[in-house]
Amino acid sequence: MPTTLFIADLHLSETEPAITAGFLAFLQREAVHADALYILGDLFEFWIGDDDPSELHTQVAQALAELHDNGVPCYFICGNRDFLLGKKYAARCKMTILPDEQVIDIYGDKVLILHGDTLCTDDPGYLRFRKYIHNPLIQKIFLALPLFLRLKIANKLRNQSTARNRTKSLTMMDVNQLAVFKKLKDNHVIYMIHGHTHRPAIHDITMDGQLSQRVVLGAWHNEGSVFRAKPHKDIELASFPF
């Protein structure tokens, strides 16, 4: 049966080879049979530039390009970890970079897809930081730095983020329901798919007397996570071993 696949939050890195192996196996085992694959951010743990000569990046690019060559298009929305992933690397992967928010058609249904961090409006500190690092001038200056310095800055920011998150409540790090309603209304849709929060679930929402659904993709920590959408609203949020 025709199937469109959605994944997010793999956080691939050289220090977690099991996750990379699981992702590559997923591409060969399942994604190759899909109509399309959507990666909704944080494919990588961090991204310091398309010019990073990482063996991991080469391996992933080759696998995604092979997926494309087998007739399966891949679409990518940047996450909060890999927001600097650019056109050069996307071209190596033969994947299409989408805007931060995109409405797509899935077997006749209009669906809003996004990474999900912009829905966490109860964390204004993060949103201010996000606005700062998405400034094109700041990004241009960062990408002009030597690779070793970019890596040092990225590691420092990751450590700071981890430390800050330990002091935040679960509510602060989750999406805000009013923000969800606003995104749905602004985009004139009743379906949404996102990642970021690492809390996989399919939420039924009643909005203006109409049933809506919000799908939250799972993170790839100890197992893989995928959302499968098929015609006639046949959907499944599943986990699987690496």
Task: Using DSSP, state whether 158 is helix, strand or coil.
Answer: helix
Spacing of C-alpha 40 from chain mean position: 3
Mean pLDDT of 55-61: 98
What is the CATH number assigned to the segment(s) 4-240?
A: 3.60.21.10
Q: What is the pLDDT of residues 71-114, one digit of tens each?
A: 999 999 999 999 999 999 999 999 999 999 999 999 999 999 99
Classify strands 224-230 and 234-240 as parallel, antiparallel or unpaired: antiparallel
For the whole model, what pTM was predicted?
0.95
**d(C-alpha 11, C-alpha 33), whole Å:** 24
Mean pLDDT of the chain: 95
Mean pLDDT, residues 59-76: 98
